[in-house]
Amino acid sequence: MGMTAAYEVRGLVCRLGGRDIVREVDLDVVHGEVLALVGPNGAGKSTLLGALTGDVPIAEGDVRLDGRPLAQWSARDLARTRAVLLQANQVSFPFTVREVVEMGRNPWVGHATAAQDDEAIAEAIERTDIAHLLERPFTALSGGEKARASLARVLAQRTDVVLLDEPTAALDLRHQEEVMVVARSLAAVGRAVVVVLHDLSLAAARADRIAMIDGGRLVSAGTPAEVLTPERVESVYGIAVHVLPAPDGHLIVIPHRGLSDTVSS
């Protein structure tokens, strides 16, 4: 599969409230890969993702999507090329879950691809395990159910680029894995997937590459083994960790915990 660039980010600076939140970031995202964005709370992950979606202004530098600067994209063409799952699943009107998923098809109104509407919606519902929720009001769902319904909207959009901000944060163990299996299946058919994750072991197991952000800067980008060294994780997160191979070969990252806290006398 050709590894063509979806995004080329060069010297990106994002400034919010007079502060540089993203600082001189250079990063490529290629079709056919899952790229995990990791870093501590407040590192600038969501802001960087917002710059990729076109929602956060670029103060300095350049973000190209499919070779074209983001500023040259129309809102409609952007919506047909990249789909976004925001960190807060903002749906305030009492839409049903079915209606939320159907919204993913809005960008395709008037395009030949609209013929795929029913199939795209059905596939998205199946992959996110929400068939039993379709007639419920979105606002009445649990956090994890909202996250899956919002992911279904993103999948229904059927874009070449998929940007997910903490899609697994509210999910139970099985649904976390299922979301990342979906992400992998998108990459397998040539889509570019950027996913913000907190769980470094999940990122190590399911991402092709990891980009670690700290204080707005990209401190490391590469394979999980390249990025997730104990020294780097300790220096970025401020906590000592073990990085170990799991029985299936993926790396797992766990804090040093010792025994003293667990021993009750």
Task: Provide the binding-site residues for ligand ADP, judged by CB under 6 A.
Answer: 16-17, 21, 39, 41-47
Residue 44 site contact among ligand ADP, Mg ion, none (CB < 5 to 8 Å, cut-off depends on kind): ligand ADP
Nearer to ligand ADP, 17 or 238 (CB): 17
Kindly state the smallest distance separating residue 117's Cβ from Mg ion, in Å. 31
Distance, CA of 222 to CA of 201 (rounded, Å): 15
Helices (runs of H) and strands (runs of E) counted in the chain: 9, 12
CB of 85 to Mg ion, least distance (A): 12
Residue 42 binding: pick among ligand ADP, Mg ion, none (C-beta 5-8 Å cut-off by kind): ligand ADP
Distance in Å, CB of 44 to Mg ion, minimum: 8
Of 2 and 17, which CB lies nearer to ligand ADP in the complex structure? Answer: 17
Q: Residue 64, Cα to own-chain centre: how many angstroms?
A: 18
- CA-to-CA distance for 54 and 67, rounded, in angstroms? 15
> 30-49 mask for Mg ion (x: CB under 5 A)?
---------------xx---
Q: CB under 5 to 8 A by kind: which of ligand ADP, Mg ion, none does 2 bind?
A: none
For Cα atoms 62, 64, 70, give the angle at the middle one, nearest 5 degrees: 85
Identify the CA nearest to 42 among candidates 215, 212, 162, 163. 215
* Residue 41 contact partner, candidates Mg ion, ligand ADP, none, CB within 5 to 8 A by sort of partner: ligand ADP
In angstroms, the Cα distances linking 247 to 130, 173, 180 are 32, 18, 19
How many other β-carbons are positioned within 10 Å of the β-carbon of residue 176? 20
Binder of residue 150, out of Mg ion, ligand ADP, none (CB less than 5 to 8 A by kind): none
Considering beta carbons, is residue 125 or 196 the nearer one to ligand ADP?
Answer: 196
What does the per-residue mask of binding to Mg ion show for 209-238, with x meaning CB under 5 A?
A: ------------------------------
Task: Work out what residue 21 binds among ligand ADP, Mg ion, none; the CB cut-off runs from 5 to 8 Å by kind.
Answer: ligand ADP
Residue span 73-92 as binding mask against Mg ion, x where in contact by CB under 5 A, dash where not: --------------x-----
Asked if residues 236 and 40 have their Cβ atoms less than 8 Å apart, the reply is: yes
DSSP readout, 228-252? --HHHHHHHHSS-EEEEE-TTS-EE
Distance between CA atoms of 144 and 228, rounded to whole angstroms? Answer: 27
- Site for Mg ion, rule CB under 5 A: 45-46, 87
